[in-house]
Each structure stands twice: as structure tokens, then as C-alpha cells.
Amino acid sequence: MFNKNKKEEIEKSFISLKNNFLKISHKNSLVQFVSSNEKVNKASLILNLARTLAKDNYKVIIVEADFRNPRMGELCDIDFDRGFYDILEKEKPYENFIVKDHFQKNLDLILAPSKKEDGQNVLSYDRINAIFDSLKEKYDFILLDTACNEKYDDANFYPSLCDSVIVFAGKKDFRKKKLNGSLRKLENVNAQISGIITTDN
């Protein structure tokens, strides 16, 4: 009974997250997710939001651009050795790098399958903008998973390409040093911050 109640509680929380997300996001939009620190279960929350949207027949793709802490492949149990970094570095067609989620048919992913420390070096505004514009024509929502922007500046490259930005922060850090630092950096690049999600971490 406890496990069933816990599962129902978790499902309700993600439905609530989805409903709130839909209030602040429009279809065919690109939403960036950043964190104010690296221990907020960001990838798991993005994945569950995406699956909840896909379950409601929205066509969703996650683009994993957190090269330093890639987790989507592991979370989805997908073993694929190519991803967003390779698309940018080798200028390959992104269509060849899309994988399907095993659980929701309406969810696709472009992974970051291996850890990279030099994410800044492959960032090209025109190249990435063209990819995102193409994805907007095919998906209801593009969820962009990026690194902790308080620590890594490549995460602050993306807001100018996105329709909105959502920030993850631990409850213990809410309105404190790391979150404030994260928000200041986003404001400095004119990010359209549409929400802050706090976690128990």
C-alpha cells in the first residue's frame, strides 16, 4: 500500500509539473533547463516531464547539452555512442543522432553519451540556431538540458536561442548564493526566465 501511494503521489507531482509547464510554454517552443548547482536530479526531472507530456500526445524531444554530466542515456537505458556534441563538432545531420524513448512513442532524444570538458569549443550560434529552428517545425516542445550555469559558462550561451529558461535549485539553496549567482548570469544574457523549480536536494 505504501509503495502504491508513493507511486501515485509521484505521478501526481509530475502531472502538476506538466500543467504548470503548459501554462508558461507555448507549442513549438524551445525551453532550456539549467541548474544553480549540480545535485538537483535535473536530468531525471526533465525526463519525467517529457514523458508526461508525451503521454498526453505532445511530440517532444530532449536535447542533452550537459556535456560534463550526461545522464539521459543511463536513465533511459539507451546505449548509443553518438550525440549532440558530435553533431556540433563534426557538423553532421542531427536526424542521424535521434533515438527513441523505450517508454513513450512521442518522445525522442538527442543524447550526450560521453563526458566532455570542452563544451564551449563546439558552440556555433548559426549552426545551433538552424538545428533548433528545424526541430521546432517537427516537435511541440524541445527540452534543452544544459549544465549548471552558475559554474559553467557554456550553459549561458543558449538563452538567446531559447523561448524561455527554467532554473532548478535545491530547497536549501533557494534565494541563496548559488541560485542568485545563476539568476544574475542568466539576466546578464537577457534570458527569458519563466520559472524556478525547487527540489529536495
pLDDT in tens, 118-169: 778 899 999 999 999 999 999 999 999 999 998 899 999 999 999 999 999 8
pTM of the model: 0.93
Amino acid at 63: V
Secondary structure (3-state) at 114: coil
The residues spanned by each domain of the chain are 2-199
pLDDT at 40 over 50: yes
- H or E segment and range at residue 198: strand 193-199
Alpha-carbon dihedral sign for residues 194, 9, 36, 79: negative
Instruction: Encode pLDDT of 72-102 as tens digits.
Output: 999 999 999 899 999 999 888 999 999 999 9
Non-local CB neighbours of 28 within 8 Å, separated by 6+ positions: 136, 137, 139, 140, 141
Alpha carbons within 13 A on the beta-carbon side of 68: 16
The CATH architecture that domain 2-199 belongs to is 3-Layer(aba) Sandwich (3.40)
